[in-house]
Amino acid sequence: MAITTYLAASTRALAEEMERDPAVWALGEDLGRGGVFGQYKGLQQRFGAARIADTPISEACIMGAAVGAALAGTRPVVEMRFSDFALCATDELINQAAKARFMFGGQAKVPLVARQPVGMWRSSAAQHSQSLEAWYAHVPGLVVVAPGTPADNLGLLKSAIRADDPVVYLEHKDLWAAEGEVPDAEHLVPIGVADTAREGRDLTIVTWSGMRRRCLEAAGTLAAEGIEAEVIDLRTLWPWDRDRVLASVERTRRLLVVHEAVTVAGFGAEIAAFVAEHLHARLAAPVRRLGAPRIPVAYAPPLEDMARVSPEAIVAAARATTAPAAAIAS
């Protein structure tokens, strides 16, 4: 094991897959200079401009070229710079890539990875701070992945590149510098398998991406109060690990879903509804969701903080979920 950053883990993953498979390549804006966050640094020098390809400033052009290249037999990694910018390429991704395998009766596949940095990151304002995972999870044909640790960013990006379906790969901008243990040897994380980041008996907290570390921080605070929360990091939003979540909630009988995205119509609603439908007779408290208010993210730090889901807010929601029935009713 070695200590490395979330960013460096993604660079290593892409490099290893390009070494393994000559069909893997990457395209996007300024990749030759390392990409907007430096996650492609050194790769063009190592693999050449034909495989780390700089493109015009046109997300629709980038995604459209990648869809065609994937249909032709290559495995493109598409850099969208920010998930917000990827909205300019939604027709190519949602109406073409996601539907091709179905519409051609399985005779064609689109094995591309659309990397979309997501989330709030030091006063990036309303057009650079969104978490749009629920949009993509709603679309049949798309795989949606959201790693929350360096090891998972390594293993999941490698698995995403090897997948035969289009993968929307959501890397949290605030995690680029985060450090963690990463295996030195080949490391793959299977798509669709969650990680139990912390075991507990009193409450299940389900989360993903940048909220993993905040939920773990909140769980530490709760433990000091005698509340043992189990934290499950989904890692993959579609498909998501229903069995692990159901097994945990069946034991704890309480569920809190935490995500950075807006609460309204967020992916947490899917998890909450699924658990309520399957375990309603076993639950000791109503399922609870915690997410951002339905407001644009502001540039000014004090206003930006109003949209953040903090460890303190997670602790408060967990306390409410584990309170005695009389307190919940009141």
Contact 171, 195 (CB under 8 A): no
Interior angle at CA 196, CA 84 and CA 261, nearest 5: 20
Count H helices and E strands in the chain, helices first: 13, 14
CA 122, chain centre distance (Å): 19
Residues 147 and 170: their CA atoms lie apart, in Å, by: 7
Residues 100 and 21: their CA atoms lie apart, in Å, by: 23
Is 138 in the active site? no
Candidates 228, 197, 226; CA nearest to 211 is 197
Which are the contacts of 145, defined by CB distance < 8 A and separation ≥ 6?
156, 160, 167, 168, 169, 170, 191, 235, 236, 237
Rg (CA), the chain: 20
Q: Is 330 exposed, middle or buried (0-12, 13-18, 19+ CB in 10 A)?
A: exposed
Q: Of 128, 172, 187, 259, which residue is the catalytic one?
A: 128
Token couple for 6: 């979330």
Token couple for 255: 């569920």
Phi-psi region of 125 (alpha: psi -120 to 50; beta: other; left: phi over 0): left
In angstroms, the Cα distances linking 302 to 125, 159, 298, 308 are 12, 39, 9, 10
- Consecutive H or E run containing 62: helix 59-71
Catalytic residues: 128
